[in-house]
């Protein structure tokens, strides 16, 4: 029993490597597993270790071999990504309301107010760009909730960022995922590509955050 659970956990964590096995064993249920993993990775603060970018890319590659249906996969992943961020946001908001109401000397209320102001001003860009950065993708909506970012504004950028993330990576996998060199170096290529696109903007965002918190 323990060995079976351990094996299943290993498959979930490294599903981008075991996807072929999952499809063969579970057929169309593989869609549900992918949707669940994307939801958990974006919706649960405790699950940033789950695959994201590489999973979408390799899933797109399986669309090219007709193991997955492109539009059904993209729509399902999009719903999972939007729902995950939404749940994460409301968890953060629930916690944030209690933090703001607390008079505990362990909580820097001034820092919380500055975080709120930052997300009101730059939260949209942060939510969209965070989609392409592992770990940050998991924490960005949670912090947006804690900082009480406007809900309508959050959802607009949540949906926009999810659509850009899902369709760009799945489509890239569809066209390039089965090239031998790319298949053999998938994780490195995905990380380099994501890093090259996001790093300059992230650095600018961090500089703005630093300047925001430096102001009296």
Is the model more confident about 104 or about 127?
A: 127
Q: Label residue 5 by pLDDT band (50, 70, 90).
A: very low
- Distance in angstroms (rounded) separating the CA atoms of residues 80 and 84: 6
- Distance in angstroms (rounded) separating the CA atoms of residues 86 and 84: 5
- Distance in angstroms (rounded) separating the CA atoms of residues 95 and 108: 15
pLDDT per residue over 55-74, tens digit each? 898 888 888 888 899 999 99
Q: Computed from CA positions of residues 35, 78, 197, 190, in that sequence, does the dihedral angle turn out positive or negative?
A: positive
- Distance in angstroms (rounded) separating the CA atoms of residues 141 and 124: 10
Could you tell me if 186 and 75 are in contact, meaning their C-beta atoms sit under 8 angstroms apart?
no
pLDDT per residue over 177-191, tens digit each? 666 655 555 555 555
Angle at 55 between CA 49 and CA 61, to 5 degrees: 165
User: What is the value of pTM for the model shown?
Assistant: 0.77
- Quote the mean pLDDT of the chain: 77
**DSSP classification of residue 196:** H
CA dihedral 120, 126, 128, 132 (to 10 degrees): -170
């Amino acid at each position: 029993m323990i060995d079976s659970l351990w094996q299943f956990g290993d498959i979930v964590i490294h599903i981008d490597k075991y996807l072929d096995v999952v499809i063969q064993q579970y057929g169309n249920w593989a869609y549900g597993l992918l949707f669940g993993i994307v939801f958990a990775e974006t919706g649960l603060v405790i699950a940033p270790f789950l695959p994201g970018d590489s999973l979408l890319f390799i899933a797109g590659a399986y669309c090219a071999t007709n193991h997955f249906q492109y539009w059904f996969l993209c729509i399902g992943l999009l719903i999972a990504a939007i729902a995950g961020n939404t749940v994460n946001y409301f968890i953060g908001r629930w916690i944030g309301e209690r933090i703001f109401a607390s008079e505990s000397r362990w909580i820097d209320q001034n820092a919380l107010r500055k975080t709120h102001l930052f997300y009101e001003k730059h939260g949209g860009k942060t939510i969209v760009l965070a989609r392409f950065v592992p770990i940050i993708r998991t924490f960005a909506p949670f912090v947006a909730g804690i900082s009480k970012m406007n809900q309508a504004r959050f959802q607009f950028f949540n949906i926009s960022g999810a659509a850009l993330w899902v369709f760009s990576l799945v489509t890239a996998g569809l066209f390039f995922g089965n090239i031998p060199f790319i298949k053999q170096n998938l994780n490195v290529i995905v990380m380099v590509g994501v890093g090259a696109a996001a790093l300059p903007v992230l650095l600018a965002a961090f500089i703005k955050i630093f300047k925001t918190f430096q102001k009296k």
